[in-house]
Amino acid sequence: MTTISTEEAIVLRDVEFRWSQAAAPVLDIAELSIGGGEHAFLLGPSGSGKSTLLNLLAGISRPTRGEVRLLGQPVSQWRGSRRDQFRVDHIGLIFQQFNLLPYLTVLQNTLLPCRFSARRRRRAAADGDAHESAQRLLRGLGLAENLWHRRITALSVGQQQRVAAARALIGQPELIIADEPTSALDADSRDAFIRLLFEHARQSTIVFVSHDRSLAPLFRRTLPMSAFNQAVRP
């Protein structure tokens, strides 16, 4: 049985990533750790390795060298199928383009993780059932009941963003990774969304990625890529 530890949610040691043996490293990280329950802001311009790092943290990619541990587990040592199952069980992802399924309704999109993860389904049903949990999340994120059975394509960008957040949050995953999800919003909507995310993920570790420095004051910890990724240092 997998033993989950939330003391140190993320630990990277001696991590390097290259697209090929002949290519220069995209990531060269001696050490990086993020504690359980931390809300960390990962800051860096295009080309600084943010997306590559997120792929490692989500278990989508493996490092060329070194170790990535998530929730106490050596995910960089696992085969792809085991990393995939760990991701759906323990990680909520909010993508820049949201990646919602256009042929599903708001409620169906929100419940998707529960279809693929028995763990998320059980946790979502702790206070009733998964549908009730999804409805509470949608209501709490400001999506009215008359939207729940509409297809995603009928919603505004801001509404779609909230559905993406609800999908990431359902079943209380220990780790939330958000990849520039506010880039299409104005400043007021952006700040309100981040505060809602914090409110509904109080016990989760959040890694929020952006190139927008103005968001940093909203987070407890700011991590500039240049501070730990030696591959982008001058």
pLDDT computed for residue 64 by the predictor: 95
Closest alpha carbon to 204 in 31, 13, 57, 71: 71
> Judging by DSSP bridges, how do beta strands 8-17 and 65-70 pair with one another?
antiparallel
Domain 8-232 sits in CATH 3.40.50.300: yes
pLDDT computed for residue 5 by the predictor: 57
Output 121 or 97, whichever has higher pLDDT. 121
Percent of the chain past pLDDT 90, that is, above it, reads: 71
Show me where the domains of the chain are located. 8-232
**Kind plus residue range of the DSSP H or E element containing 159:** helix 157-169
Instruction: Specify the 3-state DSSP secondary structure of 94.
Output: strand
Q: What are the C-alpha distances in Å from 141 to residues 95, 96, 136, 158, 174?
A: 17, 18, 9, 11, 19
CB neighbours of 118 closer than 8 A, spacing ≥ 6? none
pLDDT computed for residue 83 by the predictor: 96
Token representation of residue 194: 């981040």
CA–CA gap between residue 234 and residue 226 (Å, rounded): 9
- Provide the residue type at 49 as one letter: G
pLDDT computed for residue 119 by the predictor: 95
pLDDT computed for residue 105 by the predictor: 97
CA–CA gap between residue 110 and residue 106 (Å, rounded): 6
CA–CA gap between residue 63 and residue 184 (Å, rounded): 31
* Segment 15-39 mean pLDDT: 94
Average pLDDT, the chain: 91
Residue 173 pLDDT level (bands cut at 50, 70, 90) = very high
Instruction: Give pLDDT tens digits for 217-230.
Output: 999 999 999 999 99
pLDDT computed for residue 6 by the predictor: 60
Residue 205 pLDDT level (bands cut at 50, 70, 90) = very high
Instruction: Give pLDDT tens digits for 39-83.
Output: 999 998 888 999 899 999 999 999 999 999 999 999 999 998 999
Task: For the beta carbon of residue 225, count every other beta carbon within 10 angstroms.
Answer: 22
Residue 177 pLDDT level (bands cut at 50, 70, 90) = very high
Task: For the beta carbon of residue 160, count every other beta carbon within 10 angstroms.
Answer: 20
pLDDT computed for residue 15 by the predictor: 97
pLDDT computed for residue 77 by the predictor: 95
